[in-house]
């Protein structure tokens, strides 16, 4: 349970969105507490790939939020212990498509010629973007919170009303938890699965530009590679699917044959908090302001710092 004593802000949720928001608020000079029912290493964020780029998300503010996040991640990548690296790679589509606006803003973006693409892809581009080893990155975020005297408190609440009187403002970063805490029946899970393998010598990423159930991408992180993926809407199973895992490996190996025999380290499963539109807005619970910051779909990392800036502005506390 949350102990008594008013603070400036209580952030509920300790995934990448919650931790990032708490850092932005605390480093702006506000007193902050973080409350979560799971430690960061057990959140959905810990199971993410992850590469920068808006995915499975809809909101007119996405372009600004993602750009602000990319610029921040590029600075964070200067810390070799952050889990963030700038990596050049290839994004492709099996049909003609215009590159998204957010990709055009990357400095070394360049379109590929058809002969540069593996079959059956006909369109693609290369650029350098942040790749993030999420378990290491969550550790980095926790260290930044520690540096400003903020710890993650583990506790379960049944309603935001339980926090009234404990802070001047509350921030809701509970992802799927918003289904019952808000409550918001627009939020639903989209199941994702990854396969982690030993790195056979890959130093560039590959990902298809698609939003369907079966995805193909591989993201190198030093001694291991993250292979993906899947996107099963309204599936809440966290059990690894061995058949789907083998299909992921085969799709990736069709592009990069060295991955076919790479030793499998683990299978990760996570539930993306999907919604028709990201919800970042100010609300009130029993007279206390609450700022919602959830519904990021597959773009929690990609939008995290931009949304954190928005929350700081909406708080009116700085």
Does residue 1 have a pLDDT over 50?
A: no
Please state, in angstroms and rounded to a whole number, the distance separating the CA atoms of residues 258 and 191.
27
| 3-state helix, strand and coil shares in percent for the chain, rounded to the nearest 5 | 30, 30, 35
Examine residue 174 and state whether it is found in any structural domain, yes or no.
yes
Does residue 212 have a pLDDT over 90?
A: no
| HSE-up (13 A, CA, CB side) for residue 245 | 16
Examine residue 2 and state whether it is found in any structural domain, yes or no.
no
Predicted confidence at residue 97, as pLDDT, reads 93
Predicted confidence at residue 5, as pLDDT, reads 56
- Which residues 6+ apart lie within 8 Å of 264 measured at CB? 195, 196, 197, 245, 249
Segments forming the whole domain that contains residue 148: 7-315
Examine residue 276 and state whether it is found in any structural domain, yes or no.
yes
Q: Helices (H), strands (E): how many in the chain? A: 7, 15
Please state, in angstroms and rounded to a whole number, the distance separating the CA atoms of residues 214 and 210.
9
The 10 Å CB-count burial string (b at 16+, else e) for 71-85 is: ebbbebbeeeebbbb
Examine residue 56 and state whether it is found in any structural domain, yes or no.
yes
Examine residue 62 and state whether it is found in any structural domain, yes or no.
yes
Asked if 65 and 296 touch (Cβ cutoff 8 Å), the reply is no
- Which residues 6+ apart lie within 8 Å of 172 measured at CB? 12, 13, 160, 178, 181, 182, 290, 291, 292, 293, 294
Predicted confidence at residue 26, as pLDDT, reads 98
Examine residue 67 and state whether it is found in any structural domain, yes or no.
yes
Please state, in angstroms and rounded to a whole number, the distance separating the CA atoms of residues 158 and 156.
7
| pLDDT tens digit sequence for 75-119 | 999 999 999 999 999 999 999 999 999 999 999 999 999 999 999
Give me the torsion for CA of 273, 277, 278, 279, rounded to 10°: -110
Q: Which helix (H) or strand (E) holds 92?
A: strand 84-93
Predicted confidence at residue 110, as pLDDT, reads 97
The predicted model gives 283-310 an average pLDDT of 97
Please state, in angstroms and rounded to a whole number, the distance separating the CA atoms of residues 157 and 311.
22
| HSE-up (13 A, CA, CB side) for residue 192 | 28
Does residue 2 have a pLDDT over 50?
A: no
Write the CA distances from 108 to 53, 54, 83, 86, integer angstroms.
15, 18, 22, 12
Dihedrals phi, psi of 150, to nearest 5 degrees: -115, 130
Please state, in angstroms and rounded to a whole number, the distance separating the CA atoms of residues 133 and 143.
16
Domain total in the chain: 1
Tokens read off for 140:
């980095």
- CATH classification at residue 304: 3.40.50.720
Examine residue 1 and state whether it is found in any structural domain, yes or no.
no
Examine residue 227 and state whether it is found in any structural domain, yes or no.
yes
| pLDDT tens digit sequence for 20-69 | 999 999 999 999 999 999 999 999 999 999 999 998 777 889 999 999 99
Asked if 33 and 7 touch (Cβ cutoff 8 Å), the reply is yes
| pLDDT tens digit sequence for 144-167 | 999 999 999 999 999 999 999 999
Asked if 110 and 137 touch (Cβ cutoff 8 Å), the reply is no
Write the CA distances from 158 to 162, 179, 295, integer angstroms.
7, 12, 19
Mean of the per-residue pLDDT values of the chain:
95
């Amino acid at each position: 349970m949350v102990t008594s004593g008013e603070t400036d802000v209580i952030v509920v949720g300790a995934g990448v969105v919650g931790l990032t928001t708490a850092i932005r608020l605390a480093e702006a000079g506000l007193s902050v507490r973080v409350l979560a029912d799971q430690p960061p290493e057990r959140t959905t964020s810990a199971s993410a790939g992850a590469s920068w780029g808006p995915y499975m998300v809809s909101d007119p503010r996405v372009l600004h939020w993602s750009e602000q996040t990319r610029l921040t991640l590029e600075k964070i990548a200067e810390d070799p212990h952050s889990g963030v690296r700038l990596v050049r790679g290839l994004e492709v589509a099996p049909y003609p498509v215009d590159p998204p606006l957010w990709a055009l803003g990357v400095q070394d973006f360049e379109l590929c010629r058809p002969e540069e693409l593996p079959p059956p892809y006909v369109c693609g581009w290369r650029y350098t973007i942040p790749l993030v080893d999420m378990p290491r990155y969550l550790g980095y975020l926790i260290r930044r919170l520690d540096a400003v005297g903020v710890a993650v408190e583990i506790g379960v609440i049944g309603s935001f009303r339980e926090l009234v009187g404990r802070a001047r403002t509350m921030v809701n970063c509970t992802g799927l938890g918003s289904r019952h805490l808000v409550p918001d029946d627009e939020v639903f899970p989209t199941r994702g699965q990854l396969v982690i393998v030993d790195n056979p010598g890959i130093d560039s990423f590959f990902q298809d530009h698609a939003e369907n159930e079966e995805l193909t991408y591989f993201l190198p992180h030093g001694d291991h590679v993250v292979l993906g993926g899947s996107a099963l809407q309204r599936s809440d199973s966290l059990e690894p699917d061995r058949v789907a895992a083998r299909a992921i490996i085969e799709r990736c190996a069709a592009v990069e044959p060295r991955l076919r025999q790479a030793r499998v380290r683990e299978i990760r499963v996570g539930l993306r908090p999907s919604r028709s539109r990201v919800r970042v807005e100010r609300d009130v619970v029993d007279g206390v302001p609450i700022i919602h910051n959830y519904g990021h779909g597959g773009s929690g990392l990609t939008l995290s710092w931009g949304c954190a800036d928005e929350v700081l502005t909406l708080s009116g506390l700085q």
